[in-house]
A and B are shown apart, each in its own frame.
Chain A
Amino acid sequence: MVKFHDRIVALVFAIGLLVVAAGLAHAGPYEDALEKFTTDEFADTAEAVTEVATSGSPLAAPLIAALQDGRLQFSAKDKKVFIKTADDKLIDAETGKPFDGTPPDDLDTVRVNNRLRGVIEAANGALTLMAPDAGKRYESAQSVFKSRDAAVLPAVEKALEAEKVARVKKILNEARAAILLAADDTSAPDRIAAIEVIRARGDQDSLALLQSLPADLPADVRATANGAIKTVERNLALWNTVQNLWYGLSLGSVLLLAAIGLAITFGVMGVINMAHGEMVMLGAYTTYVVQDVIRTSYPGLFDYSLAFALPLAFLVAAIVGIIIERTVIRFLYGRPLETLLATWGISLVLMQAVRAVFGPTNKEVGNPSWMSGAFDLGGILITYNRMWIIVFTGIVFVALLAMLRFTRLGLEMRAVTQNRQMAAAVGIRTARIDALTFGLGSGIAGIAGVALSQIDNVSPNLGQGYIIDSFMVVVFGGVGNLWGTLVGALTLGIANKFLEPFAGAVLAKIAILVFIILFIQKRPRGMFALKGRAIEA
């Protein structure tokens, strides 16, 4: 019996709760807020917008969108709010159902002013905090973090409770902390907690936020904030260094790619090839032609265009290189200065030839889809094309190293580099090796051109921009050893990028040039010089 009685009581109590809940639902924050739209006062409208946005009602989003577009209408007499649809039908804002009575005769549009537009923006931000798409939620949390609008705080807290995705949750938490910090009436412990959260975020925005804190904070909060500023600054400096390293690596790999062929020909033949830059240019133009053919005939293959361009560019540049070696350079052996002049002449001819065929303007070379775009890594932005060029350079370098180390041609090339006469005496056909070396060096310049076409303008002057830098790499690194070229290129690239913030791009370059001119005094044959009798003439 007692049990039964208890059950009755429980049931009655439950029903009562339900009724109360239903009653609450009927006169919830959303419905309460609606009334404020009907007063025709901006201040009331602003309040209503914020309340609607934080109410969590599914009708909130369309209502605010309607307000933004001037489609929200009200009747002061009936205290009712309607959403006008695109085809002039009315929707009851309270129920979300089409309104099928006669519209009240004092129907008017809810007016919006500039201040209100700001409020609406913030409300939209708060609304998308609850959007079903995690990406959208993330973005909107980011924008809340930046705006730090105190009005959105309830929405943020609500979203925080509901959020399941860790990434979004983290940023929501940060947004909440930012709002708390920016608000005047936050308690000291709350502030300290918020500062901790911001400190953990640790980017430029966090630093700005922490630095903008008012001066008259309680001592303990102030101390935490100062500590956090220091941490964030240190963190940023670290990322800055990483970023400089990355840019330097990127520049260094480009230099390496351009200089490595030069290093081979200079090492083996003692020939400075002033037309080397033009081999790079030929490679870039080969890429252009390949892409042009693909674009017009086989557009589906565009993403593979570089795969076709690479071997072709190698072949084109290598063949031109071998022709140059056979027709000009081989007659000038033992006269390096004349070779320098003759190859300069060749470079003029090649540039002018390309200008005559393709015109003097820049040619459009596209990035395949897998090379465009970028991603964030910690505090730095990494573009795919730079990343792939670094990877590509690494592959070329290793392949070349392996070729020199493990193939017969490589062995013979090393022999000729070390001592031409002895190599000839043991039966190596040095003339053939010269031609092949020149072809190889030029071919590598050609594939460097494919890579450079992805990040630089393809014009007849492309090669000229790299030639002096390539010389510097070779002179700095020393000849006869590819590691010298690698270290030289990366050192120059990274040094350049670290100097740039202090001195500007041009002065950084000048400083590097002066440094190399001085460096040559200490080690006239570069960092990794060949040693032995064969070197000194």
Chain B
Amino acid sequence: MMSAHPLIRLLDRGSTLFLVLLGAFAIAIPVLNLLMPAGSALHVSTYFVALFGKYVCYGLLALSIDLIWGYVGILSLGHGAFFALGGYAMGMYLMRQIGDRGVYANPILPDFMVFLNWSELPIFWYGFNNFAYAMLMVLLVPGLLAFVFGWFAFRSRVTGVYLSIITQAMTYALLLGFFRNNFGFGGNNGLTDFKDILGFNVQADGTRNALLVISCLMLALCFLVCRAIVTSKFGKVLIGIRDAESRTRFLGYRVEAYKLFVFTVSACMAGIAGALYVPQVGIINPGEFAPANSIEAVIWVAVGGRGTLTGAVLGAFVVNYAKTFFTSGFLAPYWLFMLGGLFIGTTLFMPRGIIGTYNNWRANQADKKDAARDNAKNDAFPSAPPHAAE
């Protein structure tokens, strides 16, 4: 395995399957939505397109969490903050695109600023009418926050639950801040009433499908980046840090630099996820910063299987589909019981998640087969980590 061609290392069987499936969805859903007549049995509703697009964004968020939790053992309970910051950057671009079509028809100021009697655009809103600048900010703002936060945290060796708690404090502080009107991000109501993106109407079917395809592409791209990181020599050091941080440090690796790099990359990915999420759901508000959201994203990863990348995305899809399914029916009052049960059940009975458990099972099967075939000493299949770093 180790000596294989980089491309083969990058794309093992599971990854290939994942990318093929993702590609299939990315092609099939727009085709079935746009080309099939509305009455046809094969027609996919626009509602489903938006829903699936949302799941893809969640999948990307889960992927970013898995990169740091599954491979470096950093449990961030504040990744929702990076997601929301990316979302706000995109939301600001979309707000500027409304122009004079807002309720107050002010060509420069978004409605909420007019409503607050502001006379000019705050400096940090400058440039957001430019798409490229806004996209840069989508990466830069979460990345910079993660860099500064991580630089402080990792350098002084804040680890384990302490790190989890202060990341939670970080997102909580941002939540409180963004709720304030004078922060300049629309306060309680956030940013909404978007009209168009790059000149296309955000409500139109075509735009929705395009956003879905772009989301799938970004997910695939980020997935490949993650695979490239974790399968490289660099990735081996990360796993070393996860399993024995002190030992890795004693071997001469600059643990904090490794952590900081991955943490920042992960935050950028979460930012991208947020940026893609906002035009598809049509709103971004401070609620996205809620600590509960970040913890929920962590459970997606746990359900799918941490340290597997594909599992994180799978978990995001499964849990969110369940959420959509249960919260819309008569079972709605029981959803929180189920979610709570999911947290408990996953950690107790399926600590490796769906993919991890499946990999294990397959490894066992292979072992049995090997044992049956030549009764020789079995060769342990490298499998997902048994438990956390500490």
A337 near B291 with CB under 8 A, answer no
Tell yes or no: B277 within 8 A of A by CB. Answer: no
Interface size on A, residues (CB 8 A): 44
A524 near B341 with CB under 8 A, answer no
Tell yes or no: A471 within 8 A of B by CB. Answer: yes
B149 near A341 with CB under 8 A, answer no
B295 proximity list for chain A (CB < 8 A): 341, 344
Tell yes or no: A342 within 8 A of B by CB. Answer: yes
- CB proximity of A474 to chain B, nearest CB, Å: 8
A321-344 interface (Cβ within 8 A of B):
328, 331-332, 334-342, 344
A349 near B388 with CB under 8 A, answer no
A216 to B192, CA, bound (A): 59
- CB proximity of B343 to chain A, nearest CB, Å: 2
Partner of A468, one of B69, B149, B172: B172
A520 to B334, CA, bound (A): 39
B133-167 interface (Cβ within 8 A of A):
149, 152-153, 155-158, 160-162, 164-166
B161 proximity list for chain A (CB < 8 A): 270, 272, 336-337, 340
B343 near A337 with CB under 8 A, answer no
B160 near A341 with CB under 8 A, answer no
Tell yes or no: A351 within 8 A of B by CB. Answer: yes
A514 near B173 with CB under 8 A, answer yes
Given contacts A272-B161, A348-B336, whether A341 and B177 have CB atoms under 8 Å apart is no
A336 near B177 with CB under 8 A, answer no
Tell yes or no: B238 within 8 A of A by CB. Answer: no
A472 to B169, CA, bound (A): 8
Partner of A345, one of B172, B333, B341, B390: B341
A352 to B291, CA, bound (A): 18
A342 near B347 with CB under 8 A, answer yes
A518 near B152 with CB under 8 A, answer yes
A335 proximity list for chain B (CB < 8 A): 347, 351, 387-388
Given contacts A341-B347, A516-B169, A518-B152, whether A349 and B157 have CB atoms under 8 Å apart is no
B176 near A506 with CB under 8 A, answer yes
A351 to B77, CA, bound (A): 20
B343 proximity list for chain A (CB < 8 A): 341-342, 344-346, 348
A334 to B170, CA, bound (A): 26
A514 to B172, CA, bound (A): 11
A346 proximity list for chain B (CB < 8 A): 340, 343-344
A349 near B340 with CB under 8 A, answer yes
Partner of A328, one of B246, B333, B348: B348
- CB proximity of A202 to chain B, nearest CB, Å: 36
Tell yes or no: B250 within 8 A of A by CB. Answer: no
- CB proximity of B164 to chain A, nearest CB, Å: 6
Tell yes or no: A536 within 8 A of B by CB. Answer: yes
- Most B CB within 10 A of own CB, among A272, A344, A349: A344
B340 near A509 with CB under 8 A, answer no
| Contact bitstring B287-306, A, C-beta under 8 A = 1, else 0 | 00001000100110010000
Tell yes or no: B124 within 8 A of A by CB. Answer: no
Tell yes or no: B93 within 8 A of A by CB. Answer: no
- CB proximity of B336 to chain A, nearest CB, Å: 4
Tell yes or no: A475 within 8 A of B by CB. Answer: yes
Tell yes or no: B366 within 8 A of A by CB. Answer: no
Partner of B152, one of A331, A475, A517: A517
B341 proximity list for chain A (CB < 8 A): 345, 349
Tell yes or no: B180 within 8 A of A by CB. Answer: yes
B173 near A509 with CB under 8 A, answer yes
- CB proximity of B303 to chain A, nearest CB, Å: 10
A466 to B370, CA, bound (A): 55
Tell yes or no: A409 within 8 A of B by CB. Answer: no
Beta-carbon nearest neighbor of B386 in chain A:
A335
- CB proximity of A437 to chain B, nearest CB, Å: 17
A336 proximity list for chain B (CB < 8 A): 160-161, 388, 390
A345 to B160, CA, bound (A): 19
Given contacts A272-B165, A471-B169, A510-B177, whether A328 and B344 have CB atoms under 8 Å apart is yes
B156 proximity list for chain A (CB < 8 A): 520-522, 524
A507 to B342, CA, bound (A): 36
Tell yes or no: B260 within 8 A of A by CB. Answer: no
B333 near A468 with CB under 8 A, answer no
A345 proximity list for chain B (CB < 8 A): 299, 339-344, 347
B164 near A272 with CB under 8 A, answer yes
A517 near B169 with CB under 8 A, answer yes
A209 to B326, CA, bound (A): 66
- Most B CB within 10 A of own CB, among A335, A348, A509: A348
Tell yes or no: A287 within 8 A of B by CB. Answer: no
Partner of B160, one of A328, A337, A472: A337
Size category, B interface: 35 or more
B333 proximity list for chain A (CB < 8 A): 352, 356
B177 near A506 with CB under 8 A, answer yes
- CB proximity of A111 to chain B, nearest CB, Å: 49
| Contact bitstring A526-537, B, C-beta under 8 A = 1, else 0 | 000000000011
Partner of A340, one of B75, B179, B336, B342: B75
- CB proximity of A283 to chain B, nearest CB, Å: 20
Beta-carbon nearest neighbor of A349 in chain B:
B340
A198 to B115, CA, bound (A): 47
Tell yes or no: B168 within 8 A of A by CB. Answer: yes
B157 proximity list for chain A (CB < 8 A): 524
A42-73 interface (Cβ within 8 A of B):
none
A525 to B166, CA, bound (A): 12
Tell yes or no: B330 within 8 A of A by CB. Answer: no
Tell yes or no: A347 within 8 A of B by CB. Answer: yes
B347 near A332 with CB under 8 A, answer yes
- CB proximity of A494 to chain B, nearest CB, Å: 19
B164 proximity list for chain A (CB < 8 A): 272, 337, 340
B346 proximity list for chain A (CB < 8 A): 341
Given contacts A475-B165, A520-B156, A522-B156, whether A513 and B170 have CB atoms under 8 Å apart is yes
| Contact bitstring B164-206, A, C-beta under 8 A = 1, else 0 | 1110111011001101100000000000000000000000000
- CB proximity of B203 to chain A, nearest CB, Å: 34
B348 near A331 with CB under 8 A, answer yes
A272 to B295, CA, bound (A): 14
Given contacts A341-B298, A344-B295, whether A513 and B173 have CB atoms under 8 Å apart is yes
A72 to B176, CA, bound (A): 62
Given contacts A341-B295, A356-B333, A510-B177, whether A520 and B388 have CB atoms under 8 Å apart is no
Beta-carbon nearest neighbor of A521 in chain B:
B156
B302 proximity list for chain A (CB < 8 A): 338, 341
A518 to B166, CA, bound (A): 10
- Most B CB within 10 A of own CB, among A270, A334, A335: A335
| Contact bitstring A495-525, B, C-beta under 8 A = 1, else 0 | 0000000000011011001101110111011
Given contacts A468-B168, A510-B173, whether A352 and B336 have CB atoms under 8 Å apart is yes
Beta-carbon nearest neighbor of A342 in chain B:
B347
| Contact bitstring A461-480, B, C-beta under 8 A = 1, else 0 | 00000001001100100000
A24 to B173, CA, bound (A): 78
Given contacts A506-B180, A509-B173, A524-B162, whether A349 and B75 have CB atoms under 8 Å apart is no
- CB proximity of B73 to chain A, nearest CB, Å: 8
A19 to B390, CA, bound (A): 105
A378 to B88, CA, bound (A): 49
A513 near B172 with CB under 8 A, answer yes
- CB proximity of A525 to chain B, nearest CB, Å: 8
What are 5 residue pairs bridging A and B, where the CB atoms are less than 8 Å apart in the complex? A337-B69, A349-B337, A352-B334, A513-B172, A516-B166
List of 6 A-B pairs having minimum Cβ-Cβ separation, nearest first: A345-B343, A348-B340, A349-B340, A352-B336, A513-B173, A345-B340
Known: A338-B347, A345-B299. 19 other contacts (CB 8 A): A331-B348, A335-B351, A336-B388, A336-B390, A338-B351, A342-B343, A352-B333, A352-B334, A352-B337, A468-B169, A468-B172, A472-B165, A475-B162, A507-B180, A509-B176, A513-B173, A516-B166, A521-B153, A524-B157
